[in-house]
Amino acid sequence: MSMNWQQAVTHCHNAGDPFAVATVISTTGSTPRDGAAKMVVTHTTIFDTIGGGQLEFKVIEAAREMLASRVPAQKIDHYPLATKADQCCGGSVTVLIESFPVTAMRLAVFGAGHVASALMQVLAQCDARIEWIDSREELFPGSVSANVRLVGVDDAVAYVNELTDAHRCIIITHDHALDYQLTHKVLTETEIDYVGLIGSDTKAKRFYSRLEKDGVSDHDRKRCCCPIGMPTVKGKLPMEIAVSIAAQILSLDPVKASQIKPDLTWREIRAAFPPQT
């Protein structure tokens, strides 16, 4: 779809997609676009333009390198078009690139039963991007919040391959055998740091014992939290369990403060503009 940069920012934000905004903040001489031109860059798409050609190619490349770091950042680059961008315009362009990686918690919730349905009512109102996965698509509600994506699958275990290590995983399916297959695959084939599994203390002991017998290391077994939820919440109604799970999930830190890069200083911004004559 064709969108201008304002529409693209809204689209990316609502979809939970990481993006970067490139802004022409200064120009001298002959340039393809004037100051204030903007472009939005994602891992796979660009929206709007700052002038095309090698200049735009280099800015896209720089923006995607910033997105790959997965931390918010800003930088200013100066592009003499003849020498750095191999364009014959003869002028120069200074571009501010601001990256906006997804900082909301990313959750993969397996299971669409009563507890999962109650959990969605809570988490849909939080700063989280949620994939709700089940093979029984008829259990999904007719509509969900914008931050929830319904994923109907034939093979829930295979869907683990679609997750990133940045996800947190919640396993609350209707089938103990499926619970185990999901838990084993997540612990052995991903680096996801939190795997919440619904169940009793007895189920937890059996699963941990079986995981050990199946060669899952102690380090990896500790990434699994079973029973999921806050132990101080004793209620057994679906909404009570859901609130307990949500409280535990929200206690996890989605982005470590040490990963956030500082903003540009005023000195850096001022240096990007040519002196007034």
Domains (ranges, CATH) in the chain? 5-103+257-271 (no CATH), 105-250 (3.40.50.720)
Q: How confident is the model at residue 275 (pLDDT cuts 50, 70, 90)?
A: low
CB 39 within 8 A of CB 5: yes
> What tens digit of pLDDT does each residue of 163-196 get?
988 889 999 999 999 999 999 999 999 999 999 9
Q: Is the peptide bond before 101 cis (omega within 30 degrees of 0)?
A: no
Give the mean pLDDT of 261-269. Answer: 54
CA 163, 198, 160 angle in degrees (round to 5)?
A: 15
State which amino acid sits at residue 23: T
Return d(Cα 16, Cα 19) in angstroms, integer: 9
pLDDT at 87: 55
pLDDT at 93: 87
Give the mean pLDDT of 214-239. Answer: 94
pLDDT at 259: 43
Give the mean pLDDT of 10-35. Answer: 83
**Average pLDDT across the chain, whole number:** 86
User: How many alpha carbons fall within 13 Å on the CB side of residue 186?
Assistant: 33
